[in-house]
Amino acid sequence: MENNAGNQFGNNLVRIREGLDINRTELQRRIAERGHDMHMTTLRRIEAGEQEPRISDAIRIADALGVSVELLLSSSDEYPALNDVELARAQYHAAVRDACMALSEWESRGRVLFEKLKSARDTGVPEKLLYDAAAEFGRSHSVDGLLYVWETSLTGDREWYEALLGGSDGTR
């Protein structure tokens, strides 16, 4: 089978995967992350239209991409606006996933910073020398503080920098 209009699944898979800015290796990793193995050759052959996906493979691919199986099977000519919405939804889903992962990293690094500050203080480091790190942690260790820093960053670099410093005039 050639990669032509008759290979909707493969064509849509390539379009969506590329629209999400992920390569086959990342798709394979996402499938494996969900507890399933899929060989790289299988993905390549499905995309090229050389192999029809099994139903279970189609479901796994759709899940890993964050889209519906219907979108992978649909004709992009039938409802192009719907395909645009679904791709934007998948991109949004990926951004939410990335944000959640970043929040998890933020929380973890915050715990480490807190423990390091506490340890440094306990070993005799004067608190005034720990002020900058403690002040930054204090401003952004809660979700509200983090949101404030983020919202302030949207108004421009100077305001973001000043928010991190703690005052609009650059004073602490």
CATH classification of the domain holding 35: 1.10.260.40
pLDDT at 95 over 60: yes
**Is the whole-model pTM more than 0.85?**
no
Segments forming the whole domain that contains residue 43: 8-78
66 plus 114 within the same structural domain = no
Task: Supply the pLDDT for residue 171.
Answer: 46
Counted domains in the chain:
2
47 plus 88 within the same structural domain = no
Task: Supply the pLDDT for residue 116.
Answer: 92
Whose tokens are 């990293």? That residue is 105
Q: Would residue 172 count as lying in a domain?
A: no
Whose tokens are 């005034």? That residue is 128
Confidence of residue 55 (pLDDT cuts 50, 70, 90): very high
Task: Report the Cα–Cα distance between both ends of the chain, in Å, rounded.
Answer: 67
74 plus 87 within the same structural domain = no
21 plus 64 within the same structural domain = yes
CB within 8 Å of 9: residues ≥ 6 apart: 46, 52, 53, 58, 72, 73
The predicted model gives 15-32 an average pLDDT of 93
12 plus 38 within the same structural domain = yes
Are 64 and 34 in contact, with CB atoms under 8 Å apart? Answer: yes
Task: Supply the pLDDT for residue 3.
Answer: 44
